[in-house]
Amino acid sequence: MSNSEQHTSETFGLGERIFRGGLLLAARQVLSIVVSVLGFLFLIRFLGPTEYGRYTAAFGINAFTAATAQLGIGVFLVRGAKDPDALTFNIASTFLFVTGVAAAIVELIVATNAGTLIGLGQAMPILAFLALGLPVNLLTIPVQARFERKLDYLRIAVVELTVQLIFYAVSLPLALSGYGAWSLATGLIVQQVLECVLYHVLARWVPRPAWRWSILKDMLRYSIGFSLSSAIWTARGLVNSVIVGSLLGVEAVAFVALAARVIDMLAFVKNATWRLSIAALSKIENDPARLLRALDQGMVLQVLALGPFLVLFALLGRDIVTLALGGRWLPILTLYPFIAVSTLTNAVFSMHSYVLYIFRRNLDVAIFNAIHVSVFAAAAWLLLSSFGIIGYGYAELCAIPTYVALDILLRRRLGSPSYAMVLSWYVPIAAAILLHAFAWWTACVVLVPLAWQRNRTTVILFIRRSRSVMQFDQIT
């Protein structure tokens, strides 16, 4: 077999594995959405805003601590140029367990006391309990990376769906028994422990204590830039937990969190296509012109994967919330349009960040994230004090112009993306989401882009190829 034939065969084999993985991830995503929606609806209905707000405030802080303590080690294990050996995985496991213990101590002592001082006392016992799961949570990262490195999406899908079922199997009975926020916290700890155990059992691997500074230094050198940018972006979640919680109380935290959770559920197609499409972008990193075309197409596909679902819920949201959750959760509809437009904007620019990561421009992403989160946090603090909970929605809109900074950073490295086509979809969809409250028929503006043949062709291509991880490479 010639070298070219062997290369073609290997490329086809990799593409086939990614495609199969994409189907498995998509199937898992659909099952996960079904399980999550049903279980979540029951939990929220029984818990109510106060108890859900206590858990959410604590969870937001815990998630930020976990993301920071990882220091991007998982990124090195999955994306590093060389396949990590057994010693490297053992060193990663040892290091992450140690940082997990340290992070748990910080949460137990520092975060809980600070939270009480700023008016989050109701959530702090929950935070102290969640801190106990940090070492196990971080210990899961290396073994999960083993499966992701091998593109073994089947086992990943099995584990993720199983532990999700376990979470609701534990939380629902406890919620029905009157344990409130503790039911969610207990379910999460059990989920984290079983996830760690299941991954290690399937991998047939038990991590051993190991330490070698030279190897650890290589890991941190590769991952610290990504870790910094990721931690800054994760701090965005603290705006709800800390700023909303301290100014308006845990019930307001619950309303913001539920509105964001609804949008996250609606984004299941976007999340699946993004998670898989980054593999295709990585393959053309050495061809800037092709990468730029892929980015242009990717922005459109991300909007098409998310926009219709956001508009549909904007139209039907009041009936859905009233029927499924009850009238006490209707305040989320006040926030929904603003968070939805913010999420739609992020969908347009999500590929920008990843392209910068491809070029190892981690600092550029960190700079943008810092600008975005700072503007968002400052706006939230000012506007929540003046306008109440709707101020959070206004803050989401105030943060949108910061994406200009991300565009500038990308242009310096890659060139100028074309926004003409994506704007032809983004503007009508955003308008429909924001204007639907005045009259339902305003949602018809989303059909305006179909007046252009090019947009009709794009929709047809999206429908045909949305299940393929290689969509960017094929279309461009």
Query: What token pair was written down for 224?
Result: 């610290």
Shared domain for 319 and 216, answered yes or no, is no
Per-residue pLDDT, 272: 60
DSSP for residue 82: S
- Domain tally, the chain: 2
* pLDDT tens, residue by residue, 10-62: 434 444 444 444 455 556 566 667 777 788 888 888 899 999 999 999 999 99
Per-residue pLDDT, 454: 63
Which of 158, 192, 223 is the last residue before a domain boundary?
223
Q: How many other CB atoms are found less than 10 A from the CB of residue 52?
A: 27
Shared domain for 286 and 349, answered yes or no, is yes
Spans of the chain, pLDDT less than 50: 1-22, 466-476
Which of 223, 245, 277 is the last residue before a domain boundary?
223
Per-residue pLDDT, 260: 93
Confirm whether 148 is domain-assigned. yes
DSSP for residue 331: T
DSSP-H helix ranges across 325-361: 332-358
Domain around 36: 1-223
Shared domain for 203 and 317, answered yes or no, is no
Confirm whether 11 is domain-assigned. yes
Shared domain for 473 and 336, answered yes or no, is yes
Confirm whether 238 is domain-assigned. no
Supply the pTM of this predicted model. 0.83
Confirm whether 261 is domain-assigned. no
Shared domain for 79 and 184, answered yes or no, is yes
User: How far is the C-alpha of 224 from the C-alpha of 309, rounded, in Å?
Assistant: 36
Shared domain for 284 and 194, answered yes or no, is no
Per-residue pLDDT, 457: 63
Shared domain for 300 and 212, answered yes or no, is no
Shared domain for 280 and 199, answered yes or no, is no
Confirm whether 242 is domain-assigned. no
Per-residue pLDDT, 324: 86
Shared domain for 376 and 306, answered yes or no, is yes
Shared domain for 197 and 277, answered yes or no, is no
Shared domain for 275 and 350, answered yes or no, is yes
Per-residue pLDDT, 216: 87
Confirm whether 252 is domain-assigned. no
Confirm whether 358 is domain-assigned. yes
Per-residue pLDDT, 57: 93
Per-residue pLDDT, 259: 94
Confirm whether 335 is domain-assigned. yes
User: How far is the C-alpha of 372 from the C-alpha of 370, rounded, in Å?
Assistant: 6
Query: What token pair was written down for 464?
Result: 């045909």
* pLDDT tens, residue by residue, 89-130: 999 999 999 999 999 999 888 877 887 777 888 889 999 999
Shared domain for 19 and 154, answered yes or no, is yes
Per-residue pLDDT, 363: 86
Which of 159, 193, 223 is the last residue before a domain boundary?
223
